[in-house]
Amino acid sequence: METLEELGQLRDAIDRNDITRVQDLMTRNPGLHKARLGYGKDGPLTLAAECGVPTESRLSIARWMIENGSDVHQGGDGPLIRAALSSNRIPMMELLVSHGANVNAEWHNGYPIIFAACEAVDPVSLKWLLDHGANPNCDRVGREHRGTALEYVIGSYVRSPRLGACIDLLVETGGVSKYDAVVLDALRGNPDRVAAHLDADPSVTHRRFPQLDFGTTGGRMLTLRGATLLHIAAEYVNVPLAMLLLDRGADVNVPAFVDDSGVGGQTPIFHAVTQFNDAGIPMVRLLMDRGADVAIRAKVPGHYERPGEVLECTPLGYATHFRDETSAGDKAKTIALLKQRGAPE
């Protein structure tokens, strides 16, 4: 057993990269190797693995822990999954795998290691895992977090210009998904690939895709289910793609499908006005310049912390609902732009 005082001292020693203090504490009380520290309370090794750029001192701490009683597989390879969240931690990943960590493990029996790099939309970390044998097609019936790595990276709440690189890596290594090729190419951010699809079948410009179960952000529960490629461009703030689609006849006010409960029907601008850090402003401006109706109302999902919340609102009302999400002042510029264009709330 360990005392609260010992736990605090060990946490502090790890945070300060004080290997001498870590060795002293864990040698005097070997039970600390299983202490409920770190993400998921998986153990001190998990805490040690989660760092910025691992220094030699931090790597030495992790190595000593493994060689003196810490389980590299704690929590379902908890140390490796926390290291995999950032390419800065590749030296830690290398250390853990060299001591037996499994790149195909499932953290807490439900979250594959490769999903960590996908959640962070980090192509460098993802490539390292793939190069070391991680299976991109890791779906398993009965697992809490379903899907392949390609489906998971697409579903990430992170909006990053690195998404295309992650998709490319997974496709190149045989990764599969349930999504249409044109959807993947739109998410890759490559207008030329999408243009080729439109050349082959112009009706794709107007097609709604009912299987799009992604598109939520870290706060907003709106997805792209039943939406068009223009909605996708708006959600991922891909202005060149949106311009291509509009030039090819896409309707700037096309509504997504409405589900059986009456929720949906949002136009592309709803996706643009609710991006974190006012990132959707270039898309909002383009859509309004191309005739987006800012007075239109739709029934749309609300905040992820309020399950079942549904709002009936205009684009301005939607943006206002997420004001200060995720930081004070966020959406203020978007709201000001909408009001400047006469948008009603």
What single string gives the DSSP state of each residue in 245-313?
Answer: HHHTT--TTPPPPB-TTS-B---HHHHHTT-GGGTTHHHHHHHHHTT--TT--EEEE-BTTSTT-EEEE
The 10 Å Cβ neighbour count of residue 11 is 15
CA distance 312 to 256: 15
The yes-or-no verdict on residue 106 having pLDDT over 80 is: yes
Cα radius of gyration rounded to whole Å, the chain? 23
DSSP of 64-132, one letter per residue? HHHHTT--TTHHHHHHHHHHTT-GGGHHHHHHHHHTT--TT-EETTTEETHHHHHHTT-HHHHHHHHHT
What is the SS3 assignment for 209?
strand
Report the largest interatomic distance among the alpha carbons of the chain, rounded to a whole angstrom: 72
- To the nearest 10 degrees (0 to 180), the angle between helices 239-247 and 191-200 is 20
- pLDDT tier at 201 (50, 70, 90 boundaries)? very high
Has residue 57 got a pLDDT over 90? Answer: yes
- Contacts for 260 with CB less than 8 Å, ≥ 6 apart: none
Can you give the pLDDT at residue 218? 72
Question: What's residue 239's pLDDT?
Answer: 97
Residue 279's pLDDT band (boundaries 50, 70, 90)? very high
pTM for the model: 0.93
**The pLDDT of residue 4 is above 90:** no
Average of per-residue pLDDT values in the chain: 96
Residue 127 has pLDDT above 90, yes or no: yes
Instruction: Give the confidence band of 339 by pLDDT, cuts at 50, 70, 90.
Output: very high
Domain boundaries, the chain: 200-345
**Residue 325: Cβ within 10 Å count:** 18
Q: Check: CATH 3.60.21.10 for 200-345?
A: no
Lowest pLDDT segment from 8-12, 215-219, 303-307: 215-219
Pick from 217, 257, 259: which is nearest to 234 by CA? Answer: 217
Which SS3 state, helix, strand or coil, does residue 220 take?
strand
In the structure, what pLDDT confidence band is assigned to residue 314 with cuts at 50, 70 and 90?
A: very high
Question: Following DSSP, what letter does each residue of 171-205 receive, concatenated?
Answer: HHTT---SS-HHHHHHHHT-HHHHHHHHHH-GGGG
Dist CA 291 CA 225 (whole Å):
23
Residues written for the chain? 345
> What is the C-alpha separation between 182 and 175, in angstroms, rounded?
16
Q: Using a pLDDT cut of 70, give the percent of the chain over it.
A: 100
* Residue 327, pLDDT above cutoff 80: yes
CA-closest candidate to residue 258, choices 302, 217, 210, 214: 210
- pLDDT value of residue 219: 86
Residue 326, preceding peptide bond in cis (omega within 30° of 0)? yes
- The C-alpha atoms of residue 54 and residue 18 are separated, in whole angstroms, by 13
